[in-house]
């Protein structure tokens, strides 16, 4: 229960889904955590679940660069230097190559790709002296094409490769920062569970014949946040119930 003793983490999109599961697990393992979200309506409930003495909430739109410095500054003021950044915030819209809407396209990319890019940029800014781990929540949609996730494919494919680029950059600059990506299959998150009519079909896509529990993804984030993953950078960690093995 002490794999993250002394560490300070920022988790975007931390009030539900993967982010909340990771925040709870990180605190259980000894970390202090800042969770962020564009909407503060679920913040109080999330903090109660995580533990108010070990976590704070900061409202943030990850796609807006002006929102990033305050998140780091408030975290540092409360807990000290940041060691871990989990770029988890994301949105999903079903679309395809023929009917894609430009407004929807830009909305998906602004959160799912721009938000991660900015997280990496500011993670490096604040962690390059003392070091740390940047973890980008990608997707199986970073690895394979999915015909009705056109914009999401584009965004998450971008996340996969900027992760590698940033990891190489940090290594070349001798910054003690690791940058890795996690690629979940479909899981029980508010984003997926908001489409109950698709549940049976989504389960059938996975050889394990079920969706992931968010904690199963959080377990991978815990590994990457901990010093156990000290030789891993620029790598992609797939947690998909066998989906992409087919």
Instruction: Reply yes or no on whether 152 is catalytic.
Output: yes
CB hemisphere CA count around 181 (13 angstroms)? 28
Predicted local distance difference test score (pLDDT) of residue 84 = 98
User: Is 129 a residue whose pLDDT tops 90?
Assistant: yes
How far is the C-alpha of 52 from the C-alpha of 68, rounded, in Å? 22
pLDDT at 191: 72
Kindly calculate the radius of gyration of the chain based on its CA atoms and give it in whole angstroms.
Answer: 17
**Dihedral of the alpha carbons of 11, 78, 125, 63, in degrees to the nearest 10:** 40
Residues 21-65 have pLDDT tens digits of 999 999 999 999 999 999 999 999 999 999 999 999 999 999 999
Q: Which of 152, 195, 223, 243 is catalytic?
A: 152
- The Cα–Cα gap between 224 and 198 comes to 31
Q: What is the pLDDT of residues 225-246, one digit of tens each?
A: 999 999 999 999 999 999 999 9
149-188 per-position pLDDT tens digit: 999 999 999 999 999 999 999 999 999 999 999 999 998 8
Q: Which domains does the chain have, with CATH numbers?
A: 8-238 (3.40.50.720)
For position 193, what pLDDT does the model report?
Answer: 76
pLDDT-derived band at 106 (thresholds 50, 70, 90) equals very high
CA distance 214 to 217: 5
Is a pLDDT exceeding 90 seen at residue 85? Answer: yes
Residue 136: closest CA among 109, 118, 149, 110: 118
> Is this structure's pTM higher than 0.85?
yes
Mean pLDDT of 62-80: 98
pLDDT in tens, 191-224: 777 778 888 888 999 999 999 999 999 999 999 9
């Amino acid at each position: 229960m002490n794999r993250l003793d002394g560490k300070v983490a920022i988790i975007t999109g931390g009030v539900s889904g993967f982010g909340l599961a990771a925040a709870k697990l990180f605190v259980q393992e000894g970390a202090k955590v800042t969770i962020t979200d564009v909407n503060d309506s679920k913040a109080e409930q999330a903090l109660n679940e995580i533990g108010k003495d070990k976590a704070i909430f900061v409202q943030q739109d990850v796609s807006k660069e002006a929102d990033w410095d305050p998140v780091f500054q408030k975290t540092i003021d409360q807990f000290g230097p940041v060691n871990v950044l989990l770029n988890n915030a994301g949105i999903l819209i079903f679309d395809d190559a023929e009917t894609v809407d430009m407004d929807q396209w830009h909305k998906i990319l602004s959160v799912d790709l721009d938000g991660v890019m900015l997280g990496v940029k500011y993670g490096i800014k604040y962690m390059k002296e003392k070091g740390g781990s940047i973890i980008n929540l990608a997707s199986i949609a970073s690895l394979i094409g999915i015909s009705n996730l056109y914009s999401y494919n584009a965004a998450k494919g971008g996340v996969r490769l900027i992760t590698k680029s940033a990891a190489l950059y940090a290594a070349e600059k001798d910054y003690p920062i690791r940058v890795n990506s996690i690629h979940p299959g479909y899981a029980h998150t508010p984003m997926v569970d908001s489409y109950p009519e698709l549940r049976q079909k989504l389960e059938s896509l996975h050889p394990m014949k079920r969706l992931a529990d968010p904690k199963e993804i959080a377990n991978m984030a815990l590994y990457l946040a901990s010093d156990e993953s000290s030789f891993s950078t620029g790598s992609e960690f797939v947690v998909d119930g066998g989906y992409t093995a087919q």
